[in-house]
Amino acid sequence: MEQRLEVCAEQIRENPKINKTKLLKYSGVKRSTFFVQKMDGLPIGSAMGSKGRRPPEFSYDTHGNIVLDSSIRKALHDYRDKIEFANGGGVKKLVYYLKDDYGFIVNHKKLYRICKEEGLLLPRKKKLKKNFKKLPASNHFVTAPLKVWQFDIKYGWVHGENRFFYLLAFIDVFSREVVDFYIGLNCKGESLVNLLDSALLKAKIPHASELVIRSDNGTQMTCNAFREKVLELGLKHEFIPPATPNKNAYIESFFSIYEIEFLQVRYFTTFEEAYRQTMEFIKFYNSKRKHGSLKMMTPLEFKKSFEKYSTEEVAVRL
């Protein structure tokens, strides 16, 4: 390494205009290593040109007057001494507070440097990692209803109120029946927990059944409340890999039908309209809409008549 540094230094002395970045790259020398070495008693970095101008020790106010950094530092300390700013008010917000309260115009980068020097930065919040092992999605040979469910979230738009609404649904892989669903202006983990209870009650499935439920890795599906609920019920919850919606094809297919045949041809003035019409559409989907993959039967018809067919004819590969 020392020999390569000496060669680079010699090349720079002989040809100051040489492309130093390429020289270091071809020599296998890191820039950070190169700049801290000494060449003739001076840092090699001095041969690369100026290190940049020294930051000014003043800023300006809204009237164009000079404001010394000492005044900015005092103002920042005054903010942090207040209970409202003891654990709130980040650097980017302080820029606006200084402008509104003192008339100081300070760039957020400079303000960050001053706060760092004065020890006034707020502690960064650490994201808590969810330490649990996810069950990967596996292949299934589904031969009857109530064996595998898929679920996901779809959002629609209330035109008259300029806001979204959410549809959370469980679909049975075998019969394509929407077992149960939730419609609301928000969709949280608690909503999913309550819907799972409701779906199991409607389907009359015992808690210790062999039912498998499958979803993507959304925040509602991975939250602690839902994970604890799944463990309590003794269900198997599979997660599809990221960017593989085909692994959740049946619920994605239903949401595609919901988008094309329902959302794209309707205008909702209120959320109540969207709620009522969505309920009507799902009832129509389960009891009236024919499916080519179900031998032109509805999900409920197929569910009632599946026992008439052999297992090989109606089995679903997943």
Residue 314 has pLDDT above 60, yes or no: no
Q: Residue 313 is which amino acid?
A: E
pLDDT tens-place string over residues 179-202? 999 999 999 999 999 999 999 999
Cα distance between the two ends of the chain: 57
Ramachandran angles phi, psi of 143, nearest 5° = -115, 5
Q: Which of 74-88, 261-275, 292-306 has the highest mean pLDDT?
A: 261-275
* pTM above threshold 0.85: no
Structural domains of the chain ordered from first start: 2-48 (no CATH), 58-118 (no CATH), 136-317 (3.30.420.10)
Greater confidence (261 vs 135) lies with: 261
Instruction: Average the pLDDT over 41-46 and give the result.
Output: 46
* Percentage of the chain lying above the pLDDT 90 cut: 61
11 pLDDT exceeds 90?
A: no
Tell me the C-alpha distance between 261 and 257, whole Å.
6
